[in-house]
Structure 1
Amino acid sequence: MVSSSHEAMHRIFQEDPGVFARTFRTLDLPFPDPVAVSLMPTDLTEIKPTERRVDTLLRIDTESGESHLLIVEAQGEQDPRKPTSWAYYVAHLREKYGIPPILLVTCQDRRTAAWASKPFKIGPPQWPTLTLRALVLGPHNVPVITDPSAAARDIPLATLSAITHGKDPNAPAILKALAVALKTIDEETARIFAELTELGLGKAMAAETWRQLMSVDLSFFRSETSQRLRAEGRAEGRAEGRAEDVLLILGTRGIEVTEAARRRITSCTDLDALRTWLTRAVTVDTVDELFTDSEA
């Protein structure tokens, strides 16, 4: 049975396939950014054999004219049967579409990631017919993003960081950075990534931390948590939380905040003004630029 955390891991790549290239560039694997992405059928069933489906299948076209298929598989634990299934996916898709396939496996724990990263040899030991190698993303190589400014610059990567490091001691700081960053983008996009984070964390202890963070101010968060909070209504708490987020970003970026500016931010109850300041805090060079009429 497919779990909610399993679903969230590969949904991130559907929302922003470019996160694949950006993540692996940090590992010195120079995959180019996509210029066009197509969601492909995930059903690999032939006429008679057993039904086979991949989690996500994307066709990625690049500026150089090269194309490849990205097979995204979320793996929650070691499974000795999986490598032969993955080999089938790769061979079948190469034959069907004539495009080089890449197998990407996402994991939420280091042990599973280490297992999925090793080459799987298929065939007799003295002469393996096929060697399968997957690219693996997990807590061992996805960056830990605790800076709200960095999270705001790449929301999909920050979401992936939050999910893959859900069992890490740094999880609260990672989730706080993502929660702040989500308030700098439009509500519909933020809602998608907020819900993906909740789903991806599953039953990890960090999931409760995430729900508490969402209780500060994510009125667009359409989950059981948000529905309860909208019914209760906490306008004053939302303003205080947003003001704290503005000061957090400025402090993290090393922007000096005068006492007058601090009082102005913390005493403000206008959520729209606070949202504007929060968005500007990601890029301003001085605190005075928060309060200008033009966008910083």
Structure 2
Amino acid sequence: MPSAEHESITRLFQEDPDFAAELLTDVLHLPLPERGEATVGPNDIDEHQSLRRADAVVVYKTPDGEKAALTVIVEVQRARDRDKPYTWPAYIANARNRLECPTYLLVVAPNKEAANWCAKPIDLGHPGFTLRPLVLGPDVIPSITDPRRAAESPELSVLSAIVHATDPQGVNVLEALLHAMRALPGKHALRYAELVRAALPAEVWNALEKKMKTETREILSDFTRARLAEAREEGREEGREEGRTEGKAEAILTLLSMRGLEVPAHVREAVDSCGDQRRLNAWLLAAATVDRAEDLLD
């Protein structure tokens, strides 16, 4: 099962498909064909759909929208995987064959060991036919500590916060992101703040939060309150018991996560499956003060 870090990074490309081209041009400095609208396409690019799937496939149309201009296959790789030297070339060949356009393999590797392994050339055997994956590792992904730069590219700032969280400048990267998030539309900012929180282990998030300036902690509290209000509003707009229940359950889990508490699977399941409004109300109040997520169920 993919890790939370893996899922958070993948979500960035689903939230903004143009992020793939931004990384290729602005970070890796590659020239790309002229292109138009970007969409996240089907990720079952293997000829045999039962085999592994790419994490994300971003397809850019030509400016006139008539056909595909280029395809970017995105893979998030956190460790060595002996199958990848075989599946990656197949992904490129199959996508290129289907869409008949230039195809790129972009690998995001959050740690140095994985990045070094992913960057190794893959010799396919045919003379001159060697695949050199385009790899974004910690040495390539910028450490963004300027809120103005973070605001220019929120997705890159989120990726920077995830990858550089344990660096000496980790708290500065996270603070720059949170300050930049204030300029984004509410729901957009909340989603990105939650992606970072979900990607980081609880102990890392807690350590960073302790180092935050008071002003940044207040921004984080604002995000938490806004997410709770949004969840409650979603429940009201739904106008049904089911909608109210789902909204409160999501608010409880979000509050626990934003407070830096680890939420075990059995707690998440209990909250998600609860249909008792009074119990959910009690849990929502308790979620603001408990020391452990498990204490909700006591």
Could you tell me the TM-score, scaled by structure 2's length?
Answer: 0.67
Root-mean-square deviation (CA, aligned residues, Å) is 3.0
Which range moves more in the overlay, 177-186 or 225-234? 225-234
1:220 aligns with 2:238: no
Which residue is equivalent to 1:242?
A: none
CA distance in structure 1 between the partners assigned to 2:286 and 2:182 by the alignment = 20
| Of 107, 110, 115, the match for 1:108 | 110
1:146 Cα deviation from its structure 2 partner:
0.5
User: How much has 1:30 moved relative to structure 2?
Assistant: 3.0
Q: State the alpha-carbon separation in 1 of the partners of residues 220 and 33 from structure 2.
A: 38
Residue 196 of structure 2 corresponds to 197
Deviation at 1:59, TM superposition (A): 0.4
Alpha-carbon distance, 1:55 to partner: 0.7
- Correspondence 1:37 to 2:38: yes
Displacement of 1:131: 1.4
- For residues 16-75 of structure 1, the C-alpha deviation after alignment (integer angstroms, 9 at most, x for no partner) is 22233333324432336853012211123546x742311111101354987111111100
Tell me whether 1:133 sits opposite 2:132 in the alignment: yes
The correspondence of residues 37-116 of structure 1 with structure 2, limited to 5 A, is: 37-46=38-47, 50-61=50-61, 63=63, 67-116=69-118
AA in 2 matched with 1:36: E
Q: 1:46–1:29: structure 2 CA closer, same or farther, 3 Å change rule? A: closer
Of the candidates 198, 203, 206, which is equivalent to residue 204 of structure 2? Answer: 206
CA deviation after TM superposition for structure 1 residue 84, in Å:
0.7
TM-score normalised according to structure 1 size: 0.68
Instruction: Output the amino acid matched with 2:256.
Output: T
Q: Give the SS at the match of 2:36.
A: strand
CA distance in 2, matches of 1:98, 1:33: 15
Against the structure 1 CA distance between its residues 121 and 64, is the aligned structure 2 distance closer, same or farther, given a 3 Å change threshold? Answer: farther
The CA distance in 2 between the partners of 1:147 and 1:227, in whole Å, is 23
CA distance in 2, matches of 1:165, 1:33: 32
What aligned pairs does 1:247-286 form with structure 2 within 5 A after superposition?
A: none
- Amino acid of the residue matched to residue 221 of structure 2? V
8 Å contact kept, 1:21–1:30: no
Q: Distance in 2 between matches of 1:113 and 1:227?
A: 29
Structure 1 residue identity aligned to 2:135: V
Residue identity matched to 2:222: D
Structure 1 Cα separation of the partners of residues 37 and 111 of structure 2:
31
Higher relative contact order, chain-length normalized (CA < 8 Å, sep 6+) = 1
CA gap 1:34/1:18 in 2 versus in 1, 3 angstroms: farther
Q: Which residue identity is paired with 2:195?
A: L
The one-letter amino acid paired with 2:12 is: I
Unaligned runs of 5+ in 1: 235-296
Q: 2:293 matched to which residue of 1?
A: none
Matching residue's letter, 1:107: A
Distance 1:34 1:157 in 2: 21
110-119 or 26-35: which moved more? 26-35
Does the C-alpha gap of structure 1 residues 187 and 231 become closer, same or farther in structure 2, counting only changes over 3 Å? farther
Alpha-carbon distance, 1:85 to partner:
0.9
Q: Distance in 2 between matches of 1:34 and 1:210?
A: 40
Taking structure 1 as reference, are residues 99 and 63 closer, same or farther at Cα in structure 2, changes over 3 Å only? Answer: same
Distance 1:86 1:171, change over 3 A: same
Q: 1:31 to 1:220 in 2, by over 3 A?
A: farther
Aligned to 1:255: none
Whole-Å separation in 2 of the counterparts to 1:153 and 1:174:
14
| Distance verdict in 2 for CA 1:64–1:160, change over 3 Å | farther
| Shift of residue 157, structure 1, vs aligned partner | 1.3
In the other structure, the counterpart of 2:21 is 21
Identity within the alignment, %: 35
More helix by share: 2
Secondary structure class of the residue paired with 2:222: coil
**In the alignment, is the contact (CA less than 8 A) between 1:171 and 1:206 conserved in 2?**
no
Equivalent residue for 2:274?
none
